């Protein structure tokens, strides 16, 4: 019996308690990570920021959080989630309080605070190896999918930050988030436990990252996640502008539709992992990306076809994100799951910035989103080819060695 199976059979409910606490930690840290984005228009008005400055302010935490997953994932392989979850949460309190209390007076202060706020975004690379070690292979897809739903913490920020500023003042959302982070850090330190017998990485950090970069699954999963999660990030950032420009919607209506897109994608992420457990990760990934390619290639009228298309895209991207990390859990070596997760998570986060830039550039030159949608459709189609060839072969080879 494998280590993960022994842990699940001996501790029973413990694995689900650990999963619940990890998901909560992911959501809380992502709540903190997304605090600046809803306040971008407010800072633009108060500080007289230009559009590029506002974009930079919102982008800094995302970029730092994405790239920071690489070393944090490798550290989790060595130190374990029991140490890293409370550590990341506690460290994040500092930039949250700095921005809330003293960092809103200038762009420079906001950029410094936003840089360190990016640490919160690395929590994803802690949770995947932590959860993976607690579950046997046939349940890891569902478990990783449930954990991935913690990305809904960004929705908490989107829904509460501006109302809290209006009712409680500029510092209110930051102080409340800092308190929640502190409570979680204490609870995590007292309750979280790493899975018995988990594989502990023994190589130095640089050597481990170099070894991880040589694994075929690392780059295959990076490409898939850049499309799946990168597509989710891109649409959650760019969809309001797309709907306003392309369909003439008002700001409130466009924001409401974007919220629906995000919620559906979050809810579908566990389903993608669950399907991977039942029918295998590769067919799920191929089907999800195929749907994405078909939807992206169309530019239908918004009602009803366009709305159905966008909601289908949200479901496909959410399920694809969950299925990608089910694949990582199945194929990556046990002592390198964190390192692989860090690189793949970084690819997904950074992948979300390319489509909006491309779409904006093409629309500015041609006055149409058609070519941008066609390029995204081609990218998705290439991802289908990847899943049906190299990824399938790698998955089969890994299964034969077990």
Choose the most confident range, by mean pLDDT, from 74-83, 149-158, 203-212, 331-340.
Answer: 74-83
Work out the average pLDDT over 287-300: 64
Q: What is the CA radius of gyration of the chain?
A: 20
Segments in 280-369 forming alpha helices (H): 281-296, 307-331, 337-351, 354-366
Query: Which pLDDT score is estimated for 176?
Result: 96
User: Does residue 5 carry a pLDDT above 60?
Assistant: no
Measured between alpha carbons, how far is 330 from 267 in angstroms, rounded to an integer? 22
For residue range 162-220, list pLDDT tens digits in order: 889 889 998 999 999 999 999 999 999 999 998 887 766 666 667 777 777 788 778 88
Work out the average pLDDT over 145-159: 83
Measured between alpha carbons, how far is 19 from 213 in angstroms, rounded to an integer? 28
Measured between alpha carbons, how far is 181 from 312 in angstroms, rounded to an integer? 34
User: Does residue 362 carry a pLDDT above 80?
Assistant: no
Count of residues in the chain: 402
* Residue 203 covered by a domain: yes
Measured between alpha carbons, how far is 395 from 280 in angstroms, rounded to an integer? 9
- What H or E segment, with its residue span, contains residue 203? none
State how far the alpha carbon of 275 is from the alpha carbons of 142, 251, 268, 272, 283, in Å: 8, 36, 11, 5, 9
Largest CA distance in the chain: 62
Token pair for residue 208?
Answer: 């481990």
Same structural domain, 284 and 148: no
* Residue 337 covered by a domain: no
Same structural domain, 80 and 145: yes
Same structural domain, 113 and 234: no
* Residue 338 covered by a domain: no
> What is the 8-class DSSP label of residue 367?
S
Q: What is the mean pLDDT of the chain?
A: 79
**In contact, 208 and 336? CB cutoff 8 Å:** yes
Segments in 80-198 forming alpha helices (H): 81-101, 107-117, 123-134, 137-148, 153-168, 172-191
Q: How confident is the model at residue 390 (pLDDT cuts 50, 70, 90)?
A: low
Same structural domain, 13 and 79: yes
Structural domain boundaries, residue 22: 1-208
**In contact, 48 and 106? CB cutoff 8 Å:** no
For residue range 238-290, list pLDDT tens digits in order: 676 677 777 777 766 776 777 788 788 888 877 777 776 665 555 555 566 56
Token pair for residue 108?
Answer: 């420079």
**Percent of the chain topping pLDDT 70:** 78
Query: Which pLDDT score is estimated for 2?
Result: 44
Query: Which pLDDT score is estimated for 29?
Result: 95
What CATH number does the domain containing 313 carry? 1.20.1250.20
* Residue 336 covered by a domain: no
Q: What angle do CA 252, 257, 262 make, to 5 degrees?
A: 125
Same structural domain, 39 and 102: yes
Query: Which pLDDT score is estimated for 12?
Result: 67
Last residue of a domain, one of 157, 184, 208: 208
Same structural domain, 46 and 146: yes
**In contact, 278 and 142? CB cutoff 8 Å:** no
**In contact, 315 and 264? CB cutoff 8 Å:** yes
Q: What are phi and psi of 215, to 5 degrees?
A: -75, 130
3-state SS assignment for residue 106: coil
**In contact, 224 and 285? CB cutoff 8 Å:** yes
Query: Which pLDDT score is estimated for 99?
Result: 94
């Amino acid at each position: 019996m494998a280590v993960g199976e022994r842990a699940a059979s001996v501790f029973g409910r413990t694995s689900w308690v650990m999963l619940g606490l990890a998901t909560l930690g992911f959501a809380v840290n992502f709540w903190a990570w997304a605090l600046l984005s809803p306040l971008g228009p407010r800072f633009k008005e108060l500080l007289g920021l230009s559009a590029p400055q506002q974009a930079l302010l919102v982008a800094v935490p995302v970029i730092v959080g994405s790239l920071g997953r690489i070393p944090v994932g490798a550290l989790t392989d060595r130190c374990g989630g029991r140490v890293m979850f409370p550590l990341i949460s506690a460290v994040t309190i500092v930039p949250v309080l700095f921005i809330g209390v003293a960092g809103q007076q200038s762009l420079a202060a906001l950029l410094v605070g936003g840089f360190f706020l990016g640490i919160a975004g690395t929590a994803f690379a802690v949770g995947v190896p932590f959860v993976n070690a607690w579950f046997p292979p046939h349940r890891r897809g569902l478990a990783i999918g449930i954990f991935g739903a913690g990305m809904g913490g960004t929705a908490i920020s989107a829904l509460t930050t501006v109302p809290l500023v209006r009712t409680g003042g500029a510092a209110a959302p930051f102080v409340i988030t800092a308190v929640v982070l502190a409570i979680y850090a204490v609870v995590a330190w007292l309750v979280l436990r790493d899975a018995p017998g988990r594989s502990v990485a023994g190589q130095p950090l640089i050597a481990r990252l170099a070894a991880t970069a040589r694994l075929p699954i690392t780059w295959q999963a990076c490409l898939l996640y850049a499309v799946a999660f990168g597509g989710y990030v891109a649409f959650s950032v760019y969809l309001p502008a797309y709907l306003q420009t392309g369909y003439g919607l008002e700001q409130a209506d466009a924001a409401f539709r974007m919220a629906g897109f995000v919620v559906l994608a979050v809810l579908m992420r566990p389903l993608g992992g669950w399907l991977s457990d039942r029918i295998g990760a590769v067919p799920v990934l191929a089907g999800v990306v195929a749907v994405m390619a078909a939807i992206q290639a169309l530019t239908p009228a918004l009602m009803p076809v366009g709305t159905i298309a966008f909601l289908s895209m949200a479901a496909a991207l959410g399920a694809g994100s969950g299925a990608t990390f089910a694949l990582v859990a199945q194929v990556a070596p046990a002592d390198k799951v964190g390192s692989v997760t860090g690189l793949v998570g970084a690819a997904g986060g950074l992948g979300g910035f390319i489509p909006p830039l491309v779409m904006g550039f093409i629309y500015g030159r041609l006055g149409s989103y058609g070519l941008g949608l066609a390029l995204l459709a081609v990218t998705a189609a290439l991802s289908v080819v990847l899943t049906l060839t190299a990824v399938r072969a790698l998955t089969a080879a890994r299964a034969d060695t077990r």
